[in-house]
Amino acid sequence: MNTTDIRTSSDPDLAGSYAAMLRAARAAEDMAIKTNTPLIVSEDGRDVRLTAQELMQRRQNKSNEQRCAD
């Protein structure tokens, strides 16, 4: 398996795909929250079910962490 960071690719489309995947993940979370639908995500190699409430809580925690870092 190739473990080279995709963001360092000389192909600008490939390098930009990382940001696109992050945007797609955020859009999926937005939709899950809006429709109150759980998401299945991979964490540490395990599949984890996150409810809309848990997704919102994680966002709040990240927001608080960013404010503390500033």
pLDDT digits (tens, 9 = 90+) for 15-63: 999 999 999 999 999 999 999 999 999 999 999 999 999 999 999 998 8
Inside any domain, residue 50: yes
Q: By C-alpha distance, which of 43, 39, 36 is closest to 28?
A: 39
| pTM for the model | 0.76
Is residue 26 assigned to a domain?
A: yes
The torsion angle over the Cα atoms of residues 23, 29, 35 and 40, rounded to 10 degrees, is 130
Strand pairing partners for 36? none
- Residue 49 falls within a domain, yes or no? yes
Residue 1 inside a domain? The answer is no
